[in-house]
Amino acid sequence: MENALWKKHHLVACEVAEDYETEKKVRMASYRGELRCPDEECLSPILKYCHGEIRAPYFAHRDNGECDYVLFEKNAGVFHGLRVLLYEHFKACDYPVEMETKVLPHHYSHLFFEWKDGVPTAIEIGTKSTNVDDVMKLQEAYSKAGMQVIWLVADQPGKTISEEHTYFMKRFCLNESGKKDLIVIGYDGKHITQYREDPDSYLVDGQEMVSENYPKLFSYEAYINDLYFEDGTLTTRGFEEAYNAFLQEKQLAFAVYKEQVEEDKAYLLRQYEVLRREREIIDTRVYVENPSGEEYEAGHQYILMVIDQQEQPVLDALGNRWVRCEFCGEVKKVAEFVSFGGRGRVNLGRCQCCKDK
């Protein structure tokens, strides 16, 4: 526990420890049993102050009784160090921040900001184990109380993830947070990765362009000191600029790529035209000088164009004969057919896959 009351004073454990004289006074108050649990519903409210060489300073109940604060400690104790680091950072930003605050019935918020003007804001820390029911209940409770809640996800930062292949807490942030941002912070509180999805589609011929250089989910590396509030939303310094630069670069790369695809298509069409003219001289033989690469591909397109006449067999420039299966409709080399040919059906047959139909 970070908070305690001493007469009229509100004590924060990590601040008490900063100064020897202050800590000595608090230790004496603790010895005299004067420290109290700040939870108004606490049934055994006497606290003690503890600070050793291994654990950071904290308050604890002298006797175990029923107390929401104790319950919070039990569930969220694992985030204690992270909470203190965040608190110290936001305090240094001069934000009106408190930690471990009971603003909802029977619930402690990890961090709480009581802005002079602006919606009171809580920060909750979630993990891969945080379930949908807890998240939705808290969303509703904060909203009813006229407050907003921002979620941080404690996990390993710097991971490459995608929206479709991650756990609920992360997907929730990517879909339902203010700017659809996901902020992942390491348990050591040092590194942060902020993610945001690019909402646009990049279609070429009805197919989504996929590129490792320009993933759907943009990610940005930062440090705890980069966290700050802008327009009531938590973000990291430099994120917005980096995200916009990423989008611009992606759109440019896409435009260049699309133009290339269209040029390639125009080239192939010109090849078909050459072949079509050849056809008048050499009939259905696909004649290309160099039957490989793009020209061979053009030749294959040509086969598809001439396969459905039944007067002349269709051969490619290598001398392979091609036939259409009348069952599955596919066009393949004759080696893949169990039977083909005949009067009025020169280029039709039954392929091996359709043998039993």
Cα dihedral 164, 166, 172, 178 in deg (nearest 10): -80
Choices 40-48, 99-107, 222-230, 276-284; region in contact with Zn ion by CB under 5 A: 40-48
Determine, following the binding rule CB under 5 A, whether residue 147 of this chain makes contact with Zn ion.
no
Choices 14-22, 65-73, 254-262, 283-291; region in contact with Zn ion by CB under 5 A: 65-73
Q: Shortest approach of Zn ion to residue 139 CB, angstroms?
A: 26
Of the pair 13, 153, the CB lying nearest Zn ion is at: 13
The count of residues in the chain is 357
Cα–Cα distance for residue pair 224/98, rounded to 1 Å: 17
Determine, following the binding rule CB under 5 A, whether residue 67 of this chain makes contact with Zn ion.
yes
Determine, following the binding rule CB under 5 A, whether residue 336 of this chain makes contact with Zn ion.
no
Separation of first and last alpha carbons in the chain: 74
Sign of the C-alpha dihedral computed for residues 223, 225, 231 and 233 taken in this order: positive
Cα–Cα distance for residue pair 174/176, rounded to 1 Å: 6
What is the Cα 52 distance to its own chain's centre? Answer: 40
Choices 99-107, 191-199, 282-290, 319-327; region in contact with Zn ion by CB under 5 A: 319-327
Q: Shortest approach of Zn ion to residue 45 CB, angstroms?
A: 5
Determine, following the binding rule CB under 5 A, whether residue 69 of this chain makes contact with Zn ion.
yes
Q: Shortest approach of Zn ion to residue 1 CB, angstroms?
A: 8
Binding to Zn ion (CB under 5 A): which residues in 19-38? 37
Q: Shortest approach of Zn ion to residue 140 CB, angstroms?
A: 26
Choices 41-49, 170-178, 205-213, 313-321; region in contact with Zn ion by CB under 5 A: 41-49
Cα dihedral 9, 11, 17, 18 in deg (nearest 10): -70
Choices 20-28, 203-211, 225-233, 328-336; region in contact with Zn ion by CB under 5 A: 328-336
Sign of the C-alpha dihedral computed for residues 199, 205, 206 and 212 taken in this order: negative
Task: State whether residue 89 is helix, strand or coil.
Answer: helix
Q: With contacts defined by CB under 5 A, how many residues of the chain interact with Zn ion?
A: 11
Which residue among 325, 337, 340, 348 contacts Zn ion (CB under 5 A)?
Answer: 325
Which residue among 42, 152, 169, 303 contacts Zn ion (CB under 5 A)?
Answer: 42
Whose CA is closest to 128, among 165, 178, 92? 165
Token pair, residue 209, equals: 């362009």
Pairing relationship of beta strands 217-223 and 227-230 according to DSSP bridges: unpaired
Residues that bind Zn ion (CB under 5 A): 37, 39, 42, 67, 69, 325, 327-328, 351, 353-354
